[in-house]
């Protein structure tokens, strides 16, 4: 029998570290290899909690105190050298590779990482919205876990000191630690439902994993012993729990909630099982190759993600050859870091003063370099980037939601706001665009069609919301469920006010949902009985690997063959065939799509048109792209355009807006009526009191003298009548409206 000292070096723990880091690396290379490989980070938390607590307890037992300064000195020497090495090379590579926005984000994350707060930065900055981009090309994203550990290291020594000083009973110490463990676990499980990002990145909801290790440490130091058979059983159950978690727990599981319990328990059991006796599994974990990987696991963890991030950024597909290259690079750099940076500096005898001095100076250099980079980007230094080329590339890929006239909301204002109508001087639009973001991204081409056919349109969409007038759906995102419900229940009574209703949703996504097809057909039948014309917008071709940043990145990285690299020959989704079938059942419903513009018959489809990107992401058009497709359809006389023929030259009811111009000492209120042959009158209001009148005349503007009327809140009301009216003051057919208010303070606007 081989007995282990409770606090001496444990090679099996280094082997467990190897399992943890390999699982994380393989998961990040390809999640299908190890679906739950991300749980390797959770294993690291258990090991960290165990070792730090064991060290602190031993120190208190021997010295009756904790030397906080010396503790932080050891942590600095252990963590900072390799970290700074990675940060420095990552920043240099980012400056050479990244576009402005990406380099700006990298530089900011660099500063937060130096301050052990990467988790806070990524929690507060990563966009998790509907149109959020992938985070797999953020080079320092993985440092969130280091931030959690370092924040734990700041607090835990004081907690241990209090535990040992005021609580003599081991049972009470473990009980109190367990209470904290349970509180953190409950907090994690509760918060993860409403705010997954906070639960994933922040210490309060991760603390229970570190506390699990600390509880194990308290048991071990108190003399934990058990029989050999029990040790073997614990080790077997522990490893089985970890392996099963790697296989069956996926990214969508509630982690760090209850789904992480098996892997945490498994890690604790493996740690405890090796305390008394080196089990069979312990001997496997103590194999030299695993121990070697475990020793460099910290550096390997630091290096693997930046390597992957830069590969993703360059839009390089990760096949087996690239995967092998990433693994070789990771462990080569980890070995260099461990033997040339991490170990020498950790073992070097340096005074406490010099440690804190040098580890203050070196991070400061990184912070200064990052700050200079940030300022260079903000001031658009030509030394950093060719800004004109970048601006041109970016202008093609803005989403529909970036434009003010795109009205995506569940609030009733979108049914009345002028900005939601095109052309904007139309009082009563002919057409009404409804649905989710897959309707909104048609807005660009629909605006082109309004000009060609002389009709008008109001858009009122709601992203990620299936267009069914009644009922509720548990598969709608929790955060969007209430707004979606309000939108769906309000949209019908608005839609029936229009001659033509244009409908678009993410058909390919909803098509597979329970009873969606049946309930939508009921919805469309109800709508067809109350509206003259309905147009169903087909799902555009989808490009799963598309990246809208390709053109911008190509400026730095050279030719990425953007215009052809995303082409695919995917078959049209069956939901479009279903929509055609629905349209054929009704005389007032027609089907429309743009596939003929993006897909050559019998050949590939492309997210590019005339070598310019027309997509915002893999399934949505950009606004400019949508406009370009619309213009091309008109130019080529696309057969699909016939669905808008009934809207040609429909009667428009116009209304006028007042333009306000500030010119030195005067303010001009200008109206632009649809006809020049009219008379116009103005009433001037100050603080809601009428103070001046300009009677009916051919003047289309009212000039306000700021010096004459002083400061206050001013607006005008205009009245327009036909010039042929013999007595315009008594006209009944009159258009009237108020301008926006303007505040004049000390003759300044």
Q: Supply the DSSP string of 28-73, one letter for each residue.
A: HH-TTTSTTGGGHHHHHHHHHHHHHHHHHHHHHHHHSS--HHHHHH
Q: Which two tokens stand for residue 647?
A: 């809207």
Rounded-to-integer distance, Cα 319 and Cα 306, Å: 18
User: For residue 13, is pLDDT > 90?
Assistant: yes
If you count them, how many residues does the chain have? Answer: 749
Go through the domains of the chain in sequence order and give each one's CATH number. 11-75+138-335 (no CATH), 400-647 (3.40.50.1110), 658-744 (2.60.40.10)
Rounded-to-integer distance, Cα 111 and Cα 363, Å: 9
Query: Model's pTM, two decimal places?
Result: 0.79
Q: What is the mean pLDDT of residues 49-73?
A: 89
User: For residue 229, is pLDDT > 70?
Assistant: yes
Strands 589-592 and 533-537: parallel
Give the pLDDT score at 495. Answer: 94
Give the pLDDT score at 747. Answer: 43
- Which tens digit of pLDDT belongs to each residue from 575-618? 999 999 999 999 999 999 999 999 987 678 999 999 899 999 99
Rounded-to-integer distance, Cα 230 and Cα 272, Å: 11
Q: What is the mean pLDDT of residues 45-66?
A: 91
Q: Report phi then psi at 696, rounded to 5.
A: -50, 125
Strands 735-738 and 712-722: antiparallel
State the Cα angle at 143 between 139 and 146, rounded to 5°. 165
Rounded-to-integer distance, Cα 409 and Cα 480, Å: 11
Rounded-to-integer distance, Cα 604 and Cα 595, Å: 11
329 in Cβ contact with 321 (< 8 Å): no
Q: What is the mean pLDDT of residues 186-190?
A: 95
Burial class from Cβ neighbours inside 10 Å (0-12, 13-18, 19+) for residue 34 reads buried
Q: Which of 106-115, 371-380, 389-398, 604-613 has the lowest mean pLDDT?
A: 389-398
Going by C-alpha positions, the residue among 36, 73, 234, 243 that lies closest to residue 157 is 73
- Between the CA of residue 59 and those of 49, 74, 151, 164, 355, what are the distances in Å? 16, 13, 20, 11, 21
Burial class from Cβ neighbours inside 10 Å (0-12, 13-18, 19+) for residue 2 reads exposed
Instruction: Select the more confidently predicted residue: 706 or 472.
Output: 706
As a dihedral over the C-alpha atoms of residue 437, residue 440, residue 442, residue 445, rounded to 10 degrees, the angle is -150
Give the pLDDT score at 654. Answer: 80
- At 131, the pLDDT band (50, 70, 90 cuts) reads very low
User: For residue 749, is pLDDT > 60?
Assistant: no
Q: Which two tokens stand for residue 630?
A: 């619309």
Give the pLDDT score at 651. Answer: 78
Secondary structure of 496-557 as H, E, C letters: CCCCEEEEECCHHHHCCCCCHHHHHHHHHHHHHCCCCEEEEECCCCCCCCCCCCHHHHHHHH
Rounded-to-integer distance, Cα 65 and Cα 67, Å: 6
Give one DSSP letter per residue of 444-492, joined into a string.
Answer: HHHHHHHHHHT--EEEEE-TT----SS---TTS-HHHHHHHHHHHHHHH
Average pLDDT value over all residues in the chain:
90
Tokens 């602190």 belong to residue: 56
Tokens 């499980």 belong to residue: 189
- Between the CA of residue 136 and those of 311, 342, 458, 545, 555, what are the distances in Å? 10, 27, 38, 13, 21
Give the pLDDT score at 128. Answer: 52
User: For residue 621, is pLDDT > 90?
Assistant: yes
Q: What is the largest CA-CA distance in the chain?
A: 116
- Each as own residue / partner, the long-range contacts of residues 68-71 (CB below 8 Å, 24 or more positions apart, any chain) are 68/157, 68/158, 69/352, 70/352, 71/157
- Which tens digit of pLDDT belongs to each residue from 650-661? 878 888 878 888
629 in Cβ contact with 445 (< 8 Å): yes
Q: Report phi then psi at 504, rounded to 5.
A: -145, 135
- Which tens digit of pLDDT belongs to each residue from 239-268? 999 999 999 999 889 999 999 999 999 999
- At 526, the pLDDT band (50, 70, 90 cuts) reads very high
Cis peptide leading into residue 464 (ω within 30°): no
Q: Report phi then psi at 128, rounded to 5.
A: -110, 15
- Between the CA of residue 170 and those of 63, 215, 220, 276, 632, what are the distances in Å? 19, 10, 11, 19, 77
Going by C-alpha positions, the residue among 315, 275, 240 that lies closest to residue 545 is 315
- At 506, the pLDDT band (50, 70, 90 cuts) reads very high
Cis peptide leading into residue 242 (ω within 30°): no
- Which tens digit of pLDDT belongs to each residue from 15-40? 999 999 999 999 999 999 999 999 99
Q: Report phi then psi at 100, rounded to 5.
A: -50, -50
Rounded-to-integer distance, Cα 746 and Cα 711, Å: 6
Eight-state DSSP code of residue 337: I
Give the pLDDT score at 288. Answer: 96
- Which tens digit of pLDDT belongs to each residue from 692-744? 999 888 889 999 998 888 889 999 999 998 876 666 667 777 888 888 888 88
Give the CA radius of gyration of the chain: 33
Task: Show the beta-strand stretches assigned E in 119-224.
Answer: none
Give the pLDDT score at 400. Answer: 84
Q: Which two tokens stand for residue 399?
A: 């989403």
Tokens 């258009």 belong to residue: 735
- Which tens digit of pLDDT belongs to each residue from 408-460? 998 988 998 989 999 888 888 999 999 999 999 999 999 999 999 999 999 99
């Amino acid at each position: 029998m081989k007995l282990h000292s409770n606090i001496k070096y444990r090679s099996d723990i280094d082997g467990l570290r190897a399992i943890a880091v390999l699982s994380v690396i393989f998961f990040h290379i390809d999640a299908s290899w190890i679906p739950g490989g991300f749980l390797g980070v959770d294993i690291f938390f258990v090991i960290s909690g165990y070792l730090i607590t064991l060290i602190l307890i031993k120190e208190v037992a021997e010295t009756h105190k904790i030397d906080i300064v010396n503790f932080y000195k050891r942590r600095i020497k252990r963590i900072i050298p390799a970290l700074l090495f990675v940060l420095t090379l990552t920043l240099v590579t980012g400056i050479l590779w990244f576009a402005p926005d990406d380099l700006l984000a990298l530089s900011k994350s660099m500063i937060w990482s130096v301050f052990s707060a990467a988790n806070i930065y990524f929690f507060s900055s990563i966009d998790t919205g509907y149109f959020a981009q992938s985070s797999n090309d953020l080079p320092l994203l993985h440092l969130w876990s280091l931030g959690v550990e370092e924040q734990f290291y700041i607090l835990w020594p004081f907690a241990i000191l209090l535990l040992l000083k005021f609580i003599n009973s081991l049972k009470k110490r473990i009980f109190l630690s367990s209470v904290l463990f349970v509180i953190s676990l409950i907090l994690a499980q509760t918060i993860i439902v409403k705010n997954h990002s906070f639960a994933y990145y922040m210490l309060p909801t991760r603390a229970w994993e570190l506390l699990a290790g600390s509880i194990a440490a308290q048991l071990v130091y108190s003399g934990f012993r058990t029989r050999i058979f029990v040790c073997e059983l614990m080790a077997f159950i522990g490893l089985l729990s970890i392996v099963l978690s790697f296989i069956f727990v996926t990214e969508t599981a509630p982690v760090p909630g209850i789904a992480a319990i098996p892997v945490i328990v498994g890690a604790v059991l493996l740690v405890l099982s090796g305390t008394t006796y080196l089990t069979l599994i312990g001997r496997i974990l103590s194999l030299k190759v695993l121990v070697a990987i475990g020793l460099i696991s910290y550096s390997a963890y630091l290096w693997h993600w930046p390597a992957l991030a830069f590969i993703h950024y360059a839009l390089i597909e990760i096949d087996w050859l690239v995967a092998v290259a990433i693994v070789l690079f990771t462990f080569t750099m980890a070995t260099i870091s461990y033997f040339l940076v991490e170990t020498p500096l950790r073992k070097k005898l340096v005074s406490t003063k010099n440690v804190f001095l040098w580890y203050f100076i070196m991070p400061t250099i990184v912070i200064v370099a990052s700050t200079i980079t940030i300022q260079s980007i903000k001031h658009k230094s030509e030394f950093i980037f060719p800004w004109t080329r970048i601006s041109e590339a970016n202008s093609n890929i803005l989403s529909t939601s970036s434009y003010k006239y795109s009205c995506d909301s569940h609030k009733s204002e979108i049914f009345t706001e002028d900005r939601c109508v095109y052309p904007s001087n139309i009082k009563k639009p002919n057409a009404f665009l409804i649905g989710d973001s897959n309707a909104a991204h048609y807005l660009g081409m629909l605006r082109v069609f309004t000009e060609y056919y002389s009709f008008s349109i109001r858009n009122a969409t709601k992203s990620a919301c299936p267009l069914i007038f009644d009922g509720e759906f548990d598969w709608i995102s929790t955060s969007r469920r209430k707004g979606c419900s309000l939108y769906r229940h309000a949209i019908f009574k608005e839609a029936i006010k229009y001659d033509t209703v244009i409908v678009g949703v993410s058909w390919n996504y909803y098509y597979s949902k329970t009873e969606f097809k049946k309930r939508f057909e009921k919805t469309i039948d109800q709508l067809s009985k109350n509206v003259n014309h309905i147009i169903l917008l087909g799902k555009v071709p989808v490009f799963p690997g598309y990246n809208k940043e390709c053109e911008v990145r190509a400026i730095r990285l050279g030719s990425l063959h953007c215009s052809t690299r995303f082409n695919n020959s995917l078959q049209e989704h069956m939901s479009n065939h279903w929509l055609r079938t629905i349209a054929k059942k009704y005389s007032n419903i027609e089907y429309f799509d743009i596939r003929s513009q993006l897909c050559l018959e019998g050949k590939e489809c492309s997210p590019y048109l005339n070598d310019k990107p027309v997509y915002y992401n893999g399934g949505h058009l950009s606004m400019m792209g949508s406009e370009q497709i619309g213009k091309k359809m008109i130019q080529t006389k696309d057969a699909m355009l016939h669905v808008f023929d009934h809207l040609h030259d429909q009667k428009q009811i116009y209304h006028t807006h007042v333009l306000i111009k500030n010119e030195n000492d005067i303010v001009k209120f200008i109206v632009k009526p649809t006809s020049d042959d009219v008379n116009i009158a103005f009433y001037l209001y100050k603080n809601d009191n009428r103070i001046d009148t300009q009677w009916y005349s051919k003047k289309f503007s009212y000039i306000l003298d700021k010096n004459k009327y002083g400061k206050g809140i001013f607006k005008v009301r205009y009245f327009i009548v036909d010039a042929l009216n013999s007595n315009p003051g008594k006209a009944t057919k009159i258009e009237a409206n108020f301008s926006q208010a303007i505040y004049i303070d000390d003759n300044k606007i």
